[in-house]
Copies of this chain bind each other. A is one copy, B any other.
């Protein structure tokens, strides 16, 4: 790469500006996300030609908004996940007139990051499914391990495909990770042996990289092959390290701390986390507790699934206040390449939770694309 023109990430930012300021504002972003200093004193041709961000295009999309395409040198990322985030949005995340909408990654990023180890096909194969996948969440935190394990067994008895820890379950004294995970894994395995459906239980990983590694080792010891992680809290570098170190484990990603407004969820959760190895990406569905639009959800699912040479599809997992009644609508909307995640509304059924889960699973399995 040295000597020739190296590749660039093409980043699309949406910028609120007036027409007379947009050219200099766009230049400002290109500088902020590359050399981060005045350009005038720079005299090294390598820095000017290869490192300095380049405004490729500015399009007025109306309503005081502009779509600005900036080429950022791939080599500035060092092909490291945290630094990648730093370069495409880091400092600019502090400016409220800019949203990162999308980015196109040159092939070197596929070589460096690989994407999911399992993806949609792998997650279907694990549970011998061919259509939409089903998932629920173990809650509430504060419950003792025995209660959570019993609940896990009862949900699994309904034949669900995947059951994840609530992302609030960490390593608290009322259900420590090392106690909760074996207990819930056993309860789910026992139920799966009865139903014949190989339901998977996904513990929520937390803490620093040492802790994350120890937790994965415990998961593997308990016979588990999939986990939940929150990359925006763990740090993308930790997430990416775990994906690389554990090719046999599938990773579901949780969107907590993904923020609102500065980075479009479609890009962050649908494309970037897929590149870094998410097998299944949880996001806030439209019409739930969070404000994502149907268009943004469709775009996110599209990013997660679209053809990307060398990168397996990642399963879109719409969630956040979903009700069983919405299953037909959601499946019509997302199609069969999806994992539904319904948590709270199942838990509301209390003593009927196994039957309610079975009803949920049946509704998903009955789906026929229109």
Q: Which of A103-145 contact B (CB under 8 A)?
A: 139-143
Chain B's nearest CB lies how many Å from the CB of A163?
14
**A206 adjacent to chain B (CB < 8 Å):** yes
Docked complex Cα distance between A235 and B257 (Å): 11
Q: Which of A68-91 contact B (CB under 8 A)?
A: 73, 75-78, 80, 82-83, 85-87, 89-91
Q: Which residues of B contact A28 (CB under 8 A)?
A: 289
Besides A36-B344, A41-B348, A78-B171, 15 new A-B residue pairs in contact (Cβ under 8 A), listed by A number: A36-B139, A36-B140, A36-B166, A36-B343, A38-B344, A44-B142, A47-B143, A50-B142, A80-B171, A82-B206, A85-B257, A86-B168, A206-B237, A233-B236, A234-B235
Contact A141 B257 (CB under 8 A): no
Docked complex Cα distance between A76 and B35 (Å): 41
Q: Which residues of B contact A261 (CB under 8 A)?
A: 96, 260-262
**A259 adjacent to chain B (CB < 8 Å):** yes
Question: Nearest 8 pairs between A and B by C-beta?
Answer: A235-B235, A51-B142, A90-B256, A35-B140, A209-B209, A37-B344, A47-B142, A208-B237
Select which of B34, B89, B262 is within 8 A of A141 by beta carbon.
Answer: B34
Supposing A75-B174, A142-B44 touch, asked if A257 and B90 sit within 8 A by C-beta, the answer is yes
Q: Which residues of B contact A255 (CB under 8 A)?
A: 91, 94
**A345 adjacent to chain B (CB < 8 Å):** yes
Q: Which residues of B contact A235 (CB under 8 A)?
A: 208, 233-235, 237-238
Chain B's nearest CB lies how many Å from the CB of A156?
18
**A295 adjacent to chain B (CB < 8 Å):** no
Q: Which residues of B contact A211 (CB under 8 A)?
A: 237
**A93 adjacent to chain B (CB < 8 Å):** yes
